[in-house]
């Protein structure tokens, strides 16, 4: 017997590792690998090969994770195959997959909007056919960044030599078998075009699939080229204007990191309308793209329609849907960015002013009104100083908010208007502050700063500036859960643009909120029109204290997502009992304090229990007063529902959003809107932003929003969605539903 020779062992170990990585190679390929090994093939090498074969068979997955390469004889230059990574999301029932397309030579295929020629690839999954695919609910097709291709004078968007299209396939049940029996229609072109069909068939059970590392890598690499799956790239589309007279479409965009030489913009989303190659002008971080629109149908109208803007900047990309506004291309020269900023500063100023009328800020304004009444007899210079201090506190707190959001933006964290109310510690701090202010108004005690500052905090007779400054900051803190008309537009621009514009917009918001204070500071003589002090002022302080107590109880109700109900009831009972007891003492001073404690306790219990019941704290899992059938927001399902002819009404809300509650009470829960939303073809989706949610945050930013409420309607007549204003009304909602429901 020949001696054992170990020279061939390292090479066979390499063969073994290669076969393990391939996992599904045939015995023929293994033997082929062995035949090219070291010539000293002996007994030890033969044993190693047998072990390789055995381990390879043991490592076979329960089902194949991909199809074979599919080739249509009519187009031998193209081949396709379907991959599954083997990964499944147990919460959403989504499977990660991809359709790989290989094209030889100069052949290419097309993007979702092919441009001036071409047909995009499309798969008919045959979900409604008896012999078609089964256990599949819907499929989301994702589109990597395309190339701009010019041939024979035609400008198109597509992929040379092929690409990989990621797919998110949602199944009904992960434990049931999935049968795929679909047909792919692929258009591939050079100087000629060939339209070919491919039958895709695959059977497997999702829960039994094993992870395929190669397929996972292929899919992840393709997803990294999909704009909506890219991380925050610092790119932002600011506006899309249509100059109808000159047939020009102008897109304004910005980049925090500057623009590359190959920066590009693609517009799509309007069927039968194409856009020319843009003329791009760059000034610093600002970019302007001017292009022409055309339609083979002849006349068209872009005003009020939505388009999808895809920004391309080197390896970065961003995609956003925006409404087209009317404008003049002649006015959009190099000063457009500054002109646009001026307009948005005006909107921010107006939005901040309107915040004074929102329920969040009314208790603080009431406190300020109380201080105004006490200031009616003092010197004009002192009044001016106090009100300027309050205004400074408001603006300063907006600067703090801007700095906070700027830091979050730099670190890649979620950003948005009011997101601090997603933090239980912040809500708890606000509970303490509002309760102390309410107690202070009832003269339970005076809140004082340290003695070295020698000043009282927010007391009626305060002649210093520190208390008024803090009052202004407090007004801003209570304003943040509220949205107002024009506020959303300004905040969305601020959070998506550069740092300078962010602080400029938030400064304008602060000045807008501070305008009533600045008005008194400019004209202290206006206080002469205020009535003289008297008993009514004491009654006003009582009313204001009750308003702040209501604010405190509302803030406590927001903690139900973080704390048990019984603990919240105890927390709510303490300030309620103290303030109501003091109120009864002030109303009936002849009665003893001890005698009034029992009725104050019963009254406090009644108020707290009624408030908890109204807030749904006893029935968190169901809202019996809501007769609408809401389902959680799932962006991936919207397109398939629209394709089925459904109309999707999306409501992104939060428990701490006062404007959201107002929209619900005034419009959504009342007819005619409520009856309209109950129609069979309407699907209702609700996104709850009460607690942090990356999915909802991404959905808001994709739609150019950074706060709630946000409502949008999708349908056959509006597949890209019709965004609704911040404050809803019956006419606007029903008109949007009717437009989205209409057939295109």
**Each residue's pLDDT tens digit, 194-217:** 999 999 999 999 988 888 888 999
Q: What is the pLDDT of residue 274?
A: 87
Report the pLDDT averaged over residues 140-158: 88
- Residue 646 or 488, more confident: 646
- Calculate what percentage of the chain has a pLDDT beyond 70: 75
Q: What is the pLDDT of residue 237?
A: 86
Question: β-pairing, 248-255 with 293-295?
Answer: unpaired
Rank 400-409, 529-538, 619-628, 713-722 by mean pLDDT and report only the highest: 713-722
Q: Helices (DSSP H) in 23-93: which residue ranges?
A: 27-35, 43-58
Would the pLDDT of 650 be above 90? yes
Class of domain 630-741: alpha beta
Q: What is the pLDDT of residue 532?
A: 61
4: enclosing H helix or E strand: none
Q: Of 326-340, 395-409, 491-505, which range is least confident?
A: 326-340
Residue 529's pLDDT band, with cuts at 50, 70 and 90, is low
Report the pLDDT averaged over residues 99-127: 91
Report the pLDDT averaged over residues 546-563: 80
Query: Whole-model pTM?
Result: 0.44
Angle at 306 between CA 300 and CA 309, to 5 degrees: 110
Residue pointed to by tokens 């008919």: 124
Q: What is the pLDDT of residue 22?
A: 42
Report the pLDDT averaged over residues 303-324: 87
CATH 3.40.30.10 segments of the chain: 630-741
pLDDT tens string 437-474: 777 777 775 544 444 433 343 443 445 577 778 777 87
What is the rounded distance in angstroms from the CA atom of residue 13 to the CA atom of residue 60? 19
Concatenate the DSSP letters of all residues of 328-380 into one string.
Answer: -GGG-STTHHHHHHHHHHHHHHHHHHHHTTSTTTHHHHHHHHHHHHHGGGS-H
Q: What is the pLDDT of residue 266?
A: 93
**Is domain 237-314+324-334 annotated with CATH 3.30.1490?**
no
Query: What's domain 70-229's architecture?
Result: Sandwich (2.60)
Of 719, 715, 621, give the one whose Cα is nearest residue 676: 715
Residue 362's pLDDT band, with cuts at 50, 70 and 90, is low
pLDDT tens string 38-76: 444 455 555 655 555 555 544 444 444 889 999 999 999
Would the pLDDT of 332 be above 70? no
What is the rounded distance in angstroms from the CA atom of residue 320 to the CA atom of residue 559? 34
CATH 2.60.40 segments of the chain: 70-229, 237-314+324-334
Q: What is the pLDDT of residue 430?
A: 76
- Report the interhelical angle of 362-374 vs 535-557 (nearest 10°): 160
Query: Is the C-alpha dihedral spanning 638, 644, 646, 647 positive or negative?
Result: positive
Rounded to the nearest integer, the mean pLDDT of the chain is 78
- Residue 634 or 404, more confident: 634
pLDDT tens string 578-613: 888 888 887 887 776 777 888 888 888 888 888 778
Q: What is the pLDDT of residue 297?
A: 74
Q: How far apart are the first and last CA of the chain?
A: 83
- Residue 532 or 384, more confident: 384
Q: What is the pLDDT of residue 28?
A: 40
Q: What is the pLDDT of residue 43?
A: 56
Question: β-pairing, 286-291 with 630-632?
Answer: unpaired
């Amino acid at each position: 017997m020949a001696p054992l020779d170990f020279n061939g062992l390292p090479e066979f170990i390499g063969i073994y590792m290669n076969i393990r990585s391939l996992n599904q190679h045939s015995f023929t390929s293994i033997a082929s690998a062995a035949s090219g090994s070291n010539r000293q093939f002996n007994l030890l090498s033969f044993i190693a090969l047998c072990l390789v074969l055995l381990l390879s068979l043991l490592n076979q997955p329960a089902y194949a994770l991909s199809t074979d390469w599919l080739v249509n004889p009519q187009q031998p230059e193209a081949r396709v195959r379907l991959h599954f990574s083997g990964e499944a999301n147990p919460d959403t029932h989504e499977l990660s997959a991809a359709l790989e397309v290989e094209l030889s030579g100069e052949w290419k295929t097309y993007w979702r909007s092919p441009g001036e020629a071409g047909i995009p690839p499309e798969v008919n999954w045959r979900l409604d056919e008896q012999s078609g695919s089964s256990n599949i609910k819907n499929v989301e097709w994702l589109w990597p960044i395309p190339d701009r291709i010019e041939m024979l004078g035609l400008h198109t968007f597509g992929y040379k030599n092929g690409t990989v299209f990621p797919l998110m396939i949602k199944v009904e049940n992960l434990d049931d078998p999935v049968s795929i029996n679909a047909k792919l229609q692929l258009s591939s072109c050079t100087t000629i075009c060939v339209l070919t069909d491919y039958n895709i068939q695959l059977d497997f059970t999702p829960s039994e699939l094993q992870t395929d590392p190669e397929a996972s890598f292929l899919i992840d690499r393709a997803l990294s080229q999909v704009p909506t799956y890219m991380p925050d790239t610092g790119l932002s589309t600011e506006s899309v204007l249509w100059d109808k007279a000159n047939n020009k479409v102008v897109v304004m965009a910005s980049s925090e990191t500057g623009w590359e030489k190959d920066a590009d913009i693609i517009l799509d989303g309007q069927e039968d309308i194409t856009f020319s190659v843009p003329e791009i002008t760059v000034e610093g971080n600002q970019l302007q793209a001017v292009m022409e629109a055309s339609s083979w149908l002849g006349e068209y109208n872009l005003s009020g329609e939505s388009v999808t803007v895809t920004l391309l900047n080197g390896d970065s990309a961003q995609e956003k849907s925006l409404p087209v506004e009317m404008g003049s291309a002649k006015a959009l020269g190099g000063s457009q960015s500054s002109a646009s900023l001026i307009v948005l500063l005006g909107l921010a100023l107006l939005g901040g002013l309107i915040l004074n009328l929102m329920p969040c800020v009314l208790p603080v304004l009431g406190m300020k009104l109380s201080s105004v009444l006490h200031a009616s007899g003092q010197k004009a210079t002192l009044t001016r100083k106090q009100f300027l201090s309050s205004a400074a506190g408001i603006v300063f707190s907006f600067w703090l908010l801007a700095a906070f959001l700027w830091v979050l933006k730099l670190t890649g964290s979620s950003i948005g208007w009011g997101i601090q109310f997603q933090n239980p510690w912040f809500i708890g701090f606000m509970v303490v502050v509002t309760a102390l202010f309410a107690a202070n108004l009832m003269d339970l005690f005076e809140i004082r700063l340290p003695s070295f500052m020698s000043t009282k905090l927010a007391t009626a007779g305060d002649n210093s500036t520190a208390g008024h400054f803090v009052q202004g900051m407090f007004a801003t803190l209570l304003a943040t859960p509220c949205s107002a008309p024009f506020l959303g537009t300004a905040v969305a621009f601020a959070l998506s643009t550069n740092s300078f514009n962010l602080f400029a917009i938030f400064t304008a918001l602060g000045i807008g909120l501070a305008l009533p204070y600045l008005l008194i500071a400019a004209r202290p003589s206006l206080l002469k029109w205020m009535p003289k002090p008297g008993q009514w002022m004491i009654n006003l302080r009582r009313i204001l204290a009750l308003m702040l107590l209501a604010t405190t109880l509302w803030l406590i109700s927001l903690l139900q997502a973080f704390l048990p109900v019984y603990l919240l009831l105890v927390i709510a009972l303490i300030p309620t009992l103290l303030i109501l007891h003091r109120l009864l003492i002030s109303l009936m001073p002849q009665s003893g304090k001890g005698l009034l404690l029992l009725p104050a306790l019963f009254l406090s219990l009644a108020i707290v229990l009624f408030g908890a019941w109204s807030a749904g704290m006893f029935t968190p899992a169901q809202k019996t007063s809501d007769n609408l059938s809401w389902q959680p927001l799932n962006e991936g399902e919207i397109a398939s529902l629209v394709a089925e002819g459904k109309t999707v009404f999306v409501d992104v809300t939060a428990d701490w959003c006062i404007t959201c509650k107002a929209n619900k009470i005034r419009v959504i829960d009342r007819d005619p809107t409520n009856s309209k939303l109950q129609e069979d073809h309407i699907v209702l989706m609700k996104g709850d932003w009460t607690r942090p949610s990356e999915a909802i945050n991404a959905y808001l930013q994709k739609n150019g929003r950074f706060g709630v409420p946000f409502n949008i309607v999708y349908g056959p007549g509006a597949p890209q969605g019709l965004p609704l204003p911040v404050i809803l009304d019956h006419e606007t909602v029903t008109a949007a539903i009717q437009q989205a429901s209409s057939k295109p």
